[in-house]
């Protein structure tokens, strides 16, 4: 017996192709496509047995809000998420929202149909290879890329960060001293400390490194809300 279902995805060609294939296999498809914003309303209004709900960004916050609303207002509808290869967090988020399954966009029609039948029967519908990949990633997480800009920023005091920003703006020692209200010799000392901590030999290299690593972008909010300092303030004026 065919399943009364809906295919809801904002990629109309994909949704219509999948709907056509499922119709040929004896299922009753109520709708083929809808924008993401209107997905929940459409499913709630039609109340199918199973909904294939497409998402392009399973890791994004709010990606499964439509699932939450559907399950709240139509708990009898089994929702199977249709999306790209998910991360373990993506799979977990889908099920936490109330989904009954997750299948890839490029899954063969036989696999999609198996997921539909399992979901209608109250079973979890996730391909074994997806679960295997999720467990593998959880057990052997990929190393996070080194955020060089953040690492360098943590090496500098708020005053040194301000000096670096001024250096990047092209200020010389005299302008740095005047802008910060300190003596030129103190400004020169701060500059040398910044160069030493960044591991560069000139102000030009420091400015280039700060720009390349995004350090300057992070420095602005740091300067607006500097952390409390335990060290004594500059006394040389």
CA neighbor of 19 nearest in space, from 44, 46, 54: 54
Count the alpha carbons within 13 Å of 120 in the hemisphere toward its beta carbon.
Answer: 18
- The mean predicted confidence, pLDDT, of the chain is 82
Question: Residue 17: which residues within 8 A CB-CB, separation 6 or more?
Answer: none
For the whole prediction, is pTM greater than 0.85? no
Q: Are 198 and 206 in contact (CB under 8 A)?
A: yes
Burial 106-143 (b: 16+ CB within 10 A, else e): ebeeeebbbbbebbbeeeebbbeebeebbeeeeeeeee
Per residue in 105-155, pLDDT tens?
Answer: 888 899 999 999 999 999 988 876 776 666 565 555 554 445 677 788 888
**Percent of the chain having pLDDT more than 70?**
80
pLDDT tens profile 198-232: 888 888 888 888 877 777 777 655 454 444 344 34
d(CA 216, CA 234): 23
Positive or negative, the CA dihedral 29, 31, 33, 38 is negative
Q: Are strands 28-29 and 4-8 parallel, antiparallel or unpaired?
A: parallel
The one-character DSSP state at 38 is G
| Residue 47 binned pLDDT confidence (cut-offs 50, 70, 90) | very high
**Which ranges of the chain does DSSP label H, i.e. alpha helix?**
12-24, 39-46, 65-73, 88-97, 109-120, 128-139, 148-155, 158-168, 173-180, 184-198, 203-213, 215-224
Q: Report the SS3 class of residue 121.
A: coil
Rounded CA separation 203/15 (Å): 56
List residues bridging with 102 in a β-sheet. 81, 126
pLDDT of 138: 56
Under a CB-based contact definition with an 8 Å cutoff, are residues 77 and 68 in contact? no
């Amino acid at each position: 017996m065919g399943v009364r279902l809906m295919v809801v995805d904002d990629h109309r060609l994909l949704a219509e192709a999948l709907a056509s294939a499922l119709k040929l296999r004896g299922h009753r498809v109520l709708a083929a496509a809808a924008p993401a914003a209107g997905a929940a309303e459409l499913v709630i209004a039609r109340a199918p047995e199973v909904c294939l709900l497409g998402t392009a960004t399973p890791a994004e916050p709010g990606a499964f809000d439509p699932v939450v609303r559907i399950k709240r207002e139509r708990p009898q509808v089994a929702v199977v998420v249709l999306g790209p290869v998910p991360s373990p967090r993506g799979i977990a988020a889908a099920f936490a929202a109330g989904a009954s399954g997750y299948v890839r966009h490029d899954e063969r029609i036989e696999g999609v149909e198996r997921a539909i039948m399992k979901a209608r029967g109250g079973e979890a519908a996730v391909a074994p290879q997806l679960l295997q990949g999720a467990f593998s990633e959880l057990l052997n997480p990929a190393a996070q890329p080194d955020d060089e800009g953040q690492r360098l920023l943590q090496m500098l005091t708020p005053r040194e960060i301000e000096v670096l920003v001024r250096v990047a703006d092209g200020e010389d020692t005299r302008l740095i001293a005047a802008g910060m209200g300190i003596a030129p010799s103190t400004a020169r000392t701060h500059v040398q400390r910044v160069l030493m901590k960044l591991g560069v030999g000139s102000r030009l290299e420091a400015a280039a490194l700060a720009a390349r690593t995004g350090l300057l972008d992070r420095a602005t909010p740091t300067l607006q809300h500097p952390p409390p300092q335990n060290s004594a303030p500059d006394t040389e004026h």
